[in-house]
């Protein structure tokens, strides 16, 4: 019943990840594939949300693990291993998202689905579309806060930004979202009046 056992149970996942990172820093390939197996699904789901593409998501997960392989020796344990790994995921995703050129107008000029049974837009869809049109850093902040459920300190660590920047970024993101929601609501209203 030693105290150390209790601690290792509490932080079981973290301490195992930490041990793997140490081995990876010593270029242990089995440790890398073990860490990859542990994180694959979480990383895949996260980057898939941002890319909507299986093959790009898989490529990104690969790139993330490669970056882990290269930089494991620089991990100093200042944060949880998972936070550090998601920091790498964040930078890879940001790089990828910044390449896309997606304009808001392309969302406003909506062609109808070639199917009369297609569901109409609901509030949640507008919110999701709004999120997708945010600048990459704001969009990722929204994902980190609401999909991964990170605290502001954790977001700051993952994004390597001061906490104040994180708060400001979220503030701007939701101001932009609100503007878009109001625009979509008034568009819906005027459509209603036309009838």
Partner 1 sequence: MNQLPQTDDHEELVRLLPWYVNGTLDESERSRVKQHIEECAECRSEAEMLTEVRRAVRNGSPAPLVPSPDKDRLLATLDNTGRPAMRHTWPWIAAAATIAAVTITVAWQFGPRPAAQPVLFETVTSPAVNQSINYVLEVQFVPGAATETHGKFFESIGAGELAVPLNDRTYRIALGLGPVTLAELEQYADRIESRPEIATATFVAVQLPVE
Alpha carbon distance 108, 128 (integer Å): 13
Applying CB under 8 A, among 20, 21, 31, 51 the residue interacting with partner 1 is: 51
Cβ neighbors of 71 (< 8 A, separation 6 or more) are 88
Q: Is residue 129 close enough to count as binding partner 1 by CB under 8 A?
A: yes
The tokens describing 63, both together, are 């790139």
C-beta atoms surrounding 111 within 10 Å:
5
Would you say 15 or 91 has its CB closer to partner 1?
A: 91
Q: Is residue 44 close enough to count as binding partner 1 by CB under 8 A?
A: yes
Alpha carbon distance 8, 101 (integer Å): 46
* Listed ranges 6-14, 83-91, 172-180, 184-192: which one lies at the site for partner 1 (CB under 8 A): 172-180
Q: Is residue 145 close enough to count as binding partner 1 by CB under 8 A?
A: yes
Radius of gyration (C-alpha) of the chain in whole angstroms: 21
Residue whose tokens read 């993952």: 158
Residues near partner 1 (CB under 8 A): 29, 32-33, 36-37, 40-41, 44-45, 48-49, 51-59, 62-63, 65-67, 69-70, 95, 99-103, 105-107, 109-115, 118-119, 123-125, 127-129, 131, 142-143, 145-147, 149-152, 154, 167-168, 170-171, 174, 177-178, 181
């Amino acid at each position: 019943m030693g105290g150390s056992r209790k601690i290792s149970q509490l932080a079981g996942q973290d301490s195992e990840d930490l041990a793997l990172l140490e081995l990876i820093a010593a270029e242990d390939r089995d440790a890398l594939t073990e860490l990859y197996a542990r994180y694959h699904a979480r990383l895949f789901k996260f980057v898939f949300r941002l890319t909507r593409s299986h093959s790009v998501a898989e490529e990104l997960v690969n790139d993330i693990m490669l970056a882990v392989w290269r930089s494991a020796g620089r991990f100093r344990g200042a944060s949880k291993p998972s936070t550090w790994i998601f920091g790498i995921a964040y930078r890879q995703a940001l790089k990828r998202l910044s390449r896309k050129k997606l304009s808001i107008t392309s969302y406003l000029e909506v062609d109808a689905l070639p199917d009369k049974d297609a569901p109409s837009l609901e509030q949640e869809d507008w919110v999701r579309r709004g999120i997708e049109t945010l600048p990459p850093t704001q969009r990722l902040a929204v994902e980190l806060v609401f999909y991964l459920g990170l605290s502001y300190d954790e977001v700051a660590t993952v994004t390597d930004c001061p906490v104040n920047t994180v708060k400001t970024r979220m503030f701007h993101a939701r101001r932009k979202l609100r503007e878009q929601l109001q625009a979509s609501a008034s568009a819906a209203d005027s459509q209603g009046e036309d009838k």
